[in-house]
């Protein structure tokens, strides 16, 4: 084996590379060498042609070689060979200015953490340098030839040599004029070497046990797919109900920065951008969707005329171009077209709608006889109606104090309960599943910034009073008719 550095000085107590043999007797553990090696790694020891572990099978003290267990009996069955470097204390020079060619392996050893090999170029031009060339001069090159590799090797806890990582250059196609090459970075996982990064003619793939991501020859990126069809193609292989998050955009800044995506179009006068933010720029943490540009459309790809639009004034339209209000809806074709339909979450059936005619709008709640039971036409409406307390009032937030006619919800709830939503004097409380502040329990009142409870206001549907009014009029009509007779 060749020696890299100053040639061996035979006048300085250097031993030739010929080995030393001993005969074991099953009891002797110490044997004397001709020259003291610098460490156990500077020699290789074989017993019965089996290489011994330098970390556990033997130790050195000067020229004394001591085995941890006595070798078995045999003639010349112990063989000690010195490594390729001289068994003395000579060091190679710091620099080597003479070009050298070695026809066998070269080993450079250090006893500390200093560099084993340094390549220096003093050229002042713009060309590459220093250069390291790994050249396989094969007389019969073929596809999948390994042209060279760099191993990162160490030992495991069982004193076995393990390649933890490896870089390989491989021929993919050696055809003249269409040559392709491949470069892989491998690491050991669970005791098995696996390709982690594979650079090849079809692109770049990133792997674990199997392929996880690839960049193909067109620059398209695929995650979870080996054939990306878009610039970024993410495929989730989870089950239908797994609800996997396939893309997460996160900003680690705890200040006022937002996380999001930006989509930019460059199409003449219609150029613009759409931004989707995970939080507004004021850092409040509330999710938001921000559009920047002119009008924005949500279209059905099969029918581009069927769309929902948000114009530059923030007005929303559905299937029409005019925007006279903040929400503009066009009903379906027909004399009584449904602009909005309401369905119950329990069974999904329709329970109400807002319909449009050619010049009118109707607000409808379900009233089909097939939905009802226990129908009773004989009840006292007048007595209940007389309990109602119509009033005039103004709303506190109305700075003009304009008086309006109406009812107080809690005064109606006991008379026509179906007309009222909410509970008298209800306030917000902490509920199960919410993140509770310290010292707060489920059911406790929520408080605003001033320490006051937060009201949940009651509402009234005054149209629910119409049946009572109609029945009262009928009862009055009957009494008047009886008096007239």
Report percent pLDDT > 70 for the chain: 74
Mark whether 360 and 388 lie in a shared domain.
no
113 and 91 in a common domain: yes
Please indicate, yes or no, if residue 190 is contained in any of the structural domains.
yes
Asked if 473 and 417 sit in the same domain, the reply is: yes
The pLDDT score that the predictor gives to residue 445 is 95
Is 174 a member of any domain? Answer: yes
In this prediction, residue 90 carries a pLDDT of: 43
Q: Which two tokens stand for residue 184?
A: 């892989």
Q: State whether residue 465 is helix, strand or coil.
A: helix
Match 């089909």 to its residue by tokens: 368
Could you give the 3-state DSSP secondary structure of residue 385? helix
Q: Which residue has the higher pLDDT, 248 or 113?
A: 113
| Residue 364 placed within a domain | yes
Q: Do 111 and 155 sit in the same domain of this protein?
A: no
Domain check: are 348 and 404 in the same one?
no
pLDDT level of residue 359 (50, 70, 90 thresholds)? confident
Structure-token pair, residue 69: 């267990």
Tens digit of pLDDT for each residue in 26-51? Answer: 999 999 988 788 778 778 899 998 88
Q: Which tokens in the block code for residue 136?
A: 């396989």
188, 221: one domain:
yes
208 vs 79: CA distance, rounded Å: 44
Q: What is the pLDDT of residues 375-429, one digit of tens each?
A: 999 999 999 999 999 999 999 999 999 999 999 999 999 999 999 999 999 999 9
Mean pLDDT of the chain: 81
Helix, strand, coil: what percent of the chain each, to 5?
10, 35, 55
Of 375, 407, 433, which residue constitutes the final position of a domain?
A: 375
**The tokens 């104090």 sit on which residue?**
401
| Residue 255 placed within a domain | no
Residue 316 shares a structural domain with residue 354: no
Name, in order, each residue with C-beta under 8 angstroms of 194's C-beta and a sequence gap of 6 or more: 186, 187, 188, 207, 208, 209
Residues 473 and 403 grouped into a single domain: yes
| Full domain range(s) for residue 364 | 331-375
Distance in angstroms (rounded) separating the CA atoms of residues 380 and 389 = 18
Average pLDDT over residues 239-254: 66
Distance CA 367, CA 165 (A): 75
- Give the count of domains, the chain: 5
27/70 Cα distance (integer angstroms): 5
DSSP-derived 3-state class of residue 153:
strand
In a domain, 248, yes or no: no
Domain CATH for 454? 1.10.10
Instruction: Answer yes or no: is 437 within a domain.
Output: yes
32, 112: one domain: yes
Residue 411 domain-assigned?
Answer: yes
* Shared domain check, 147 and 109: no
Strand order in the sheet with 64-67: 30-32, 64-67, 58-61
Per the model's pLDDT, the better-predicted residue between 60 and 93 turns out to be 60
Residues 53 and 150 in one domain: no
Between CA 121 and CA 110 the distance in angstroms is 23
CA distances from 53 to 58, 102, 154 (A): 7, 29, 14
Is residue 135 a part of any domain in this protein? no
Q: How far apart are the first and last CA of the chain?
A: 136
Beta bridge mates, 189: 192
Distances 296 to 212, 264, 271, 366, 408 between C-alpha atoms, Å? 36, 13, 12, 35, 43
Strands 296-300 and 303-310: antiparallel
Residues 22 and 60 in one domain: yes
Mean pLDDT on 73-102: 66
Question: What percent of the chain is modeled with pLDDT above 90?
Answer: 44
Structure letter (DSSP) for residue 135: -
Q: In terms of pTM, does the model score above 0.85? A: no
**Cα four-point dihedral sign 253, 259, 263, 268:** negative
Residue with the larger pLDDT of the pair 100 and 301? 100
Question: Where would I find the beta strands (DSSP E) of 250-366?
Answer: 260-265, 272-277, 288-292, 296-300, 303-310, 316-318, 327-329, 337-343, 350-356, 361-365
- Looking at residue 7, its pLDDT comes to 45
88: its two tokens: 């003395």
In angstroms, the CA 252 to CA 362 distance is: 51
Alpha helices, H only, 323-465: 381-387, 409-412
Structure tokens at 9: 């000085």
């Amino acid at each position: 084996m060749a020696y890299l550095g100053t040639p061996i000085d035979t006048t300085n107590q250097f031993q030739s590379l010929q080995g030393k043999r001993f005969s074991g007797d099953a009891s002797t553990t110490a044997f004397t060498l001709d020259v003291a090696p610098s460490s156990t790694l500077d020699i290789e020891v074989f017993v019965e042609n089996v290489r011994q572990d330098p970390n556990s099978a033997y130790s050195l003290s000067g020229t004394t070689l001591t085995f941890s267990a006595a070798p078995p009996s045999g003639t010349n069955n112990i063989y000690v060979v010195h490594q390729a470097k001289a068994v003395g204390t000579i060091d190679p020079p710091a620099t080597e200015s003479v070009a050298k060619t070695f026809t066998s392996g070269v080993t450079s050893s250090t006893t500390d953490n200093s560099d084993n090999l340094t390549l220096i170029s003093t050229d002042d031009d713009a060309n590459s340098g220093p250069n390291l060339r790994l050249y396989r001069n094969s007389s019969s090159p073929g596809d999948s030839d390994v042209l060279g590799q760099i191993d990162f090797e160490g030992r495991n806890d069982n004193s076995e040599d393990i390649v933890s990582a490896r870089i390989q250059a491989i021929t993919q196609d050696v055809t003249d004029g269409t040559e392709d090459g491949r470069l892989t970075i491998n690491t050991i996982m669970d005791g098995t070497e696996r390709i982690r990064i594979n650079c090849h003619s079809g692109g770049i793939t990133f792997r674990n046990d199997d392929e996880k991501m690839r960049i193909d020859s067109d620059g398209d990126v695929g995650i979870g797919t080996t054939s990306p069809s878009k610039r970024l193609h993410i495929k989730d292989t989870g089950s239908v109900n797994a609800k996997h998050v396939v893309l997460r955009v996160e900003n680690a800044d705890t200040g006022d920065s937002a996380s999001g995506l930006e989509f930019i179009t460059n199409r003449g006068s219609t150029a613009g951008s759409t931004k989707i933010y995970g939080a507004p720029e004021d850092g409040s943490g509330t999710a938001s969707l921000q559009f920047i540009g002119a009008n924005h459309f949500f279209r059905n790809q099969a029918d581009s005329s069927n769309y929902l639009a948000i114009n530059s004034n923030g007005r929303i339209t559905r299937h029409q171009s005019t925007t006279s209000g903040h929400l503009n809806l066009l009903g379906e074709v027909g004399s009584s077209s449904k602009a909005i339909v309401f369905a119950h979450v329990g069974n999904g059936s329709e329970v109400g709608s807002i319909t449009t005619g050619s010049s009118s709008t109707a607000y409808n709640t379900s009233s089909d006889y097939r939905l009802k039971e226990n129908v009773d036409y004989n009840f006292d409406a007048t007595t209940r109606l007389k309990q109602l307390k119509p009033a005039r009032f103004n709303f506190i937030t109305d700075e003009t104090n304009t008086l309006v006619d109406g009812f107080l919800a809690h005064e109606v709830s006991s008379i026509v309960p179906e007309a009222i939503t909410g509970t008298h004097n209800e306030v917000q409380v902490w509920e199960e599943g919410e993140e509770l502040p310290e010292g707060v329990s489920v059911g406790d009142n929520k408080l605003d910034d001033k320490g006051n409870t937060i009201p949940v206001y009651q509402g009234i549907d005054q149209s629910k009073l119409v049946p009572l009014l109609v029945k009262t009029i009928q009862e009055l009509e009957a009494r008047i008719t009886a008096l007239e007779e």
